[in-house]
Amino acid sequence: MRIPIQEVTPDLEKATIAGWVHEERDLGGLAFFLIRDRTGIMQVTVPKKKVPEAVLHAIKEVSRESVVRVTGIIKATEKAPGGRELVPESFEILAKAASPLPLDVAEKVPAEIDTRLDARFLDVRRPRIASIFQIRSRVMEATHSFLFNEGFINITTPKVVAAATEGGTELFPIAYFEKEAFLGQSPQLYKQMMMAGGCEKVFEIGPIFRAEEHNTVRHLNEATSIDVEVSFADHEDVMQLLERLMRTVYQAVADDCADQLAHLGVTDPAIPDTTLPRLPYAEAIEIAARKSEDPIAYGDDLGTASERIIGEEMGAHYFITEWPTAIRPYYAMPNERDPSICNAFDLMHPRMELSSGAQRCHIHDQLVEQIRSKGLSPEGFEFYLKPFRYGMPPHAGWGLGAERLVMTMCGLQNIREAVLFPRDRHRVTP
């Protein structure tokens, strides 16, 4: 019976392990093999004069990254990593790896991201890379359980959609029988429809597709969005929800993924405060204008340079609030006291935007007016507007970029690191 490497302790007499050949060192009469599985790496020591002929044959045959199953005596020894080593009675090659390898799993030689993504299955064998996806898995699990505990129901909405409705980004057209169709850029409108459906609290975690031709370390053309929508809530309610989520997720990772964080060199996961600063847009502009070389004025979008300046100033997660209505989408609810600003917000990490949300406009006629004022045609929005005519409660929500969350949490330099098989401007395989 094969046991995980992590569970091989010096007090075991005998064990069978299975995994990949991480490294081999042949000293002549004595050879060492490092065998790696999901749980760790351990040393197999082969005194050539004392092992069966079959073992000698196998170790001559085996190559790096081959899959092997090794059974033998466990010896406690100071000289081996982990304080124990295995002396094989049998050494089976389950699957021999071809040579040369497309990249060096043992990380003696670095590989560029492109090379790594072309051989992602090998890349993920590296403990450091596997850690990212173990953390990502924990983030997703913590997010799900947090939202279920908060009384949300999980919904699934279509990714094949009829038209651009949220506006803004470009969509991918797809061949859909005789109709025109696109890949969904956001579940936003469907979430809102479910507010009219009386669901009150919904979430969806799923792919979003954006056909923007940007080529940066923080954009993907297929990303994972953590989306929520809440009835009878305003922007402040859902910002607080987001704060609780962030704290819960960071705490879960800090509690359960200490080894993985260590692999990534993250010594302080910087668990966000319960109450994050609310930085009004006007003040954000002031900070940016004060330190920026380019002129920035109220009403401008916050560019990458501005975001960086403000992020340095803030030093930790923060919200940007009180956005001008003019530069936010039509569905944002204008502020009661001052309609020139709206109840929209962005959650920022010092490095980049993580989430965007708002209290939504739930009043049909006002929504139509706002669609018009953005230069759009309400006729094209009929399927979206219909629910607003039959009892749409006030509601608010946000979308949080899962990859950006993992990226900033783990200190990754490229968002592609946070996705197993990223889709970017050029990459469609593997």
Partner RNA sequence: GCCCAGAUAGUGUAGUGGCCUAUCAUGAUGCCCUGUCACGGCAUCGACUCGGAUUCGAAUUCCGAUCUGGGCGCCA
Residues annotated within a binding site:
166, 210-212, 218-220, 353, 356, 360, 401-404
CB of 97 to RNA, least distance (A): 9
In which region does residue 279 sit, left (phi positive, over 0), alpha (psi from -120 to 50) or beta (all else)?
A: beta
CB of 348 to RNA, least distance (A): 9
Q: In this structure, what token pair is assigned to residue 326?
A: 């003019």
Choose between 193 and 400: whose C-beta lies nearer to RNA.
400
Binding residues for L-aspartate: 166, 210, 356, 360
Q: In this structure, what token pair is assigned to residue 297?
A: 């004025």
Choose between 23 and 369: whose C-beta lies nearer to RNA.
23
In which region does residue 127 sit, left (phi positive, over 0), alpha (psi from -120 to 50) or beta (all else)?
A: alpha
Fill in the amino acid letter for 180: E
* DSSP-derived pairing of the beta strands 318-321 and 278-280: parallel
CB of 51 to RNA, least distance (A): 10
Active site residues: 210, 212, 218-219, 353, 356, 404
Interatomic CA distance for residues 52 and 94, integer angstroms = 18
For residues 250, 248, 272, 256, the Cα torsion angle rounded to the nearest 10 degrees is: -30
CB of 265 to RNA, least distance (A): 17
**C-alpha 156: how far from its chain's center?**
19
Q: How far is CA 292 from CA 251, 284, 300, 312, in A?
A: 35, 12, 13, 12
Alpha helices (H) in 110-223, listed in sequence order? 113-118, 120-123, 127-149, 188-196
Choose between 86 and 233: whose C-beta lies nearer to RNA.
86
Choose between 48 and 364: whose C-beta lies nearer to RNA.
48
**Local structure of residue 342 (DSSP, 8 states):** E
Up-side HSE of residue 106: CA atoms within 13 Å toward CB?
Answer: 14
Fill in the amino acid letter for 389: R
Kindly provide the residue ranges of all beta strands, DSSP E only, lying in 281-409, ordered along the sequence.
318-321, 323-324, 341-342, 344-349, 352-360, 395-401
Choose between 101 and 254: whose C-beta lies nearer to RNA.
101
Choose between 30 and 94: whose C-beta lies nearer to RNA.
30
Kindly provide the residue ranges of all beta strands, DSSP E only, lying in 149-300, ordered along the sequence.
153-154, 160-161, 173-176, 179-183, 201-209, 222-231, 278-280
- For the four alpha carbons of 65, 69, 75 and 76, in that order, the dihedral sign comes to positive
Fill in the amino acid letter for 58: A
Choose between 71 and 355: whose C-beta lies nearer to RNA.
355
Q: How far is CA 5 from CA 41, 82, 128, in A?
A: 7, 10, 17
CB of 81 to RNA, least distance (A): 4
CB of 284 to RNA, least distance (A): 13
CB of 320 to RNA, least distance (A): 11
Q: Cβ(252)–Cβ(144) under 8 Å? A: no
Binding residues for ATP: 210-212, 218-220, 353, 401-404
